[in-house]
Amino acid sequence: MNLHAVRAIYFFEMHRWVRTIVQSVAAPVITTSLYFIVFGSAIGRRMPEIDGIGYGAFIVPGLIMLSVLTESIQNGSFGIYMPKFAGTIYELLSAPVSTIEVVLGYVGAAATKSVVLGLIILATARLFVDFQVAHPLLMVAFLALTSATFSLFGFLSGVWADGWEKLSIVPVLVVTPLTFLGGSFYSIDMLPGVWRTIALFNPVVYLVSGFRWSFYGISDVGVGISIAATLGFFGLCLIAVTWIFRTGWRLKA
């Protein structure tokens, strides 16, 4: 494996992230803090506990997951779209680097950014609500797995996009609604029977549920199912990326 190529891509993306730190970190942290203030501190004090957990603490994992999913997709898609937009993608395709090396560089950097952002938001949440993390190692592992999976999905979105406006379609029109309807602000057990069944077809339910389990040991679906679903989606994205580089779809046009 060409580790020099992986490091070059990885650190190039990380340096670009540092240059846009206000947009990349400050903006989502401030936005999420407003959620904590409104839903956690203000409304949360008037809401009943859910499974013995205060409402403000209950929504912490969901809000972190909302930010991490959105930023993972945006970081992954923007990283590969910029070489396409600038025309430097041909230098990458002609360089002596393999598909796995390119993916490790771009997706690794995007996932790193998302994990750092998730941990910053986790620390920020302490300023507004009191909560505990029952399984910290599993929490970090699940955060890293989710970040890598959706950074890879974002990589696919960046390859698919042929214009700037398409970069925002997936995170804004698909991921954000699914996250709000995926149990970020409530337990799906609170839904009527038929709507709970429908909610189980929402993939974000498994992500939020598994992540919440690492905090409080409670979940809407089994944590094993959540991990298996995330790994399965990661595998599908990896297969799709491999096919794209073999065929040159949307890369050589």
Q: Where are the domains of the chain?
A: 3-247
Cα dihedral 39, 183, 219, 58, rounded to 10, equals 0
Q: Match 């997936």 to its residue by tokens.
A: 170
Whole-number pLDDT of residue 122: 94
Q: What is the pLDDT of residues 35-79, one digit of tens each?
A: 888 877 777 777 888 888 988 899 999 999 989 998 999 999 988
Q: What is the pLDDT of residues 87-124, one digit of tens each?
A: 888 888 788 888 888 889 999 999 999 999 999 999 99
Which one is predicted more confidently, 22 or 157?
Answer: 157
Amino acid at residue number 162: D
CB count, 10 Å around CB of 74? 26
Rounded mean pLDDT of 16-30?
A: 86
Rounded mean pLDDT of 226-231?
A: 92
If DSSP states are collapsed to H, E and C, what string results for 169-238? HHHHHHHHHHHHCCCCCCCHHHCCHHHHHHHCCCHHHHHHHHHHHHHHCCCCCCHHHHHHHHHHHHHHHH
Whole-number pLDDT of residue 72: 93
Q: How confident is the model at residue 253 (pLDDT cuts 50, 70, 90)?
A: low
Q: What is the pLDDT of residues 125-175, one digit of tens each?
A: 998 888 889 999 999 999 999 999 999 999 999 898 888 778 888 878 888
Supply the pTM of this predicted model.
0.90
Q: Which residues pair with 53 in a beta bridge?
A: 50
Q: Specify the 3-state DSSP secondary structure of 50.
A: strand
Q: Which residues pair with 161 in a beta bridge?
A: none
